C-alpha cells in the first residue's frame, strides 16, 4: 500500500473511461513518466515501478474486455530509429531497463505474429514503420531543434484491435512553445458524449474558473 501511495503522490497519470456507440469501452491513460538524469540516478527505481504499475493496469483493463489508449511523455526512446543520438544508444544503461519494461507490452512494428504479451502498438510506427527524423523532443540549451537533433519520447500506444480504426498519426514539429511538440493520432472510433463533466475537471476548481 505504501508503494502504491508513493507512485500516486506525484500525479503522473490521468485515466478516463469512455463508452463507444457500439458498446465498446475505451480507457485513455495519459502519463508523464519520471525522468532519470545522470546526476539523479536514484529516480530509476521509481520510474521502473511506475511503468510496471502502468503495464499491470493496461493488462488488467484489456483482460476485462476494454480497449486502451496509453499516451504521454515516456522520457525514453523505444528504438534506435527514435533517437538522433545513435552512437550513444548502446551506452545508455540508465534507460535500457526502461525500454525493457516498455517493450514487454508495447511493440513498435505490429504484425499478426507479434508476441501475445505485446498488448499495445505504437500508433506512429504502425503507419510509419521506417520514418526517420520523427522526433518530438529537443535540447533547448543547444538549440538542437533547428537541426532536428532530438528524440521521439512522446507516444500514443493503442490496444491491438484499435489498430483497425487508426487513420492518421502525426508529429507536429512545426508547433513551438516547448522543448516538446504535439503528437496526434486519429481514429474512426465513435464515442458517446457524457452528460456531465468529470468531478475532477479543472472547471470545477475556482482557481481555474474562466481559464479553460
Residues assigned a catalytic role: 32, 73, 180
CA distances from 16 to 40, 57, 67 (A): 32, 13, 12
- What are the residues whose beta carbons fall under 8 Å from the beta carbon of 41, sequence distance 6 or more? 94
Local structure of residue 152 (DSSP, 8 states): -
b/e sequence 63-79, b meaning 16+ C-beta within 10 Å: eeebbbbbbbbbbbbbe
CA distances from 180 to 5, 102, 106, 145, 210 (A): 29, 20, 22, 10, 27
- What are the residues whose beta carbons fall under 8 Å from the beta carbon of 150, sequence distance 6 or more? 83, 84, 135, 136, 137, 138, 139, 144
**Interatomic CA distance for residues 129 and 104, integer angstroms:** 19
Residue with cell 463507444: 20
Amino acid at each position: 500500500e505504501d508503494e502504491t501511495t508513493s507512485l500516486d503522490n506525484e500525479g503522473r497519470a490521468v485515466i478516463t473511461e469512455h463508452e463507444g456507440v457500439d458498446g465498446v469501452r475505451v480507457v485513455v491513460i495519459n502519463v508523464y513518466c519520471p525522468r532519470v538524469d545522470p546526476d539523479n540516478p536514484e529516480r530509476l527505481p521509481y520510474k521502473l515501478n511506475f511503468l510496471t504499475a502502468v503495464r499491470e493496469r493496461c493488462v488488467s483493463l484489456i483482460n476485462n474486455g476494454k480497449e486502451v489508449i496509453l499516451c504521454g511523455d515516456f522520457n525514453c526512446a523505444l528504438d534506435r530509429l527514435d533517437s538522433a543520438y545513435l552512437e550513444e544508444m548502446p551506452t545508455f544503461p540508465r534507460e535500457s531497463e526502461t525500454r525493457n519494461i516498455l517493450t514487454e507490452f508495447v511493440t513498435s512494428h505490429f504484425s499478426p505474429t507479434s508476441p501475445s504479451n505485446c498488448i499495445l502498438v505504437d500508433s506512429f510506427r504502425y503507419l510509419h514503420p521506417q520514418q526517420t527524423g520523427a522526433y518530438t523532443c529537443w535540447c533547448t540549451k543547444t538549440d538542437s531543434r533547428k537541426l532536428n537533433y532530438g528524440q521521439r519520447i512522446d507516444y500514443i500506444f493503442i490496444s491491438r484491435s484499435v489498430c483497425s480504426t487508426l487513420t492518421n498519426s502525426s508529429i507536429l514539429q512545426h508547433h513551438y512553445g516547448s522543448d516538446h511538440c504535439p503528437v496526434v493520432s486519429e481514429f474512426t472510433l465513435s464515442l458517446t458524449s457524457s452528460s456531465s463533466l468529470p468531478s475532477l475537471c479543472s472547471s470545477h476548481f475556482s482557481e481555474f474558473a474562466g481559464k479553460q
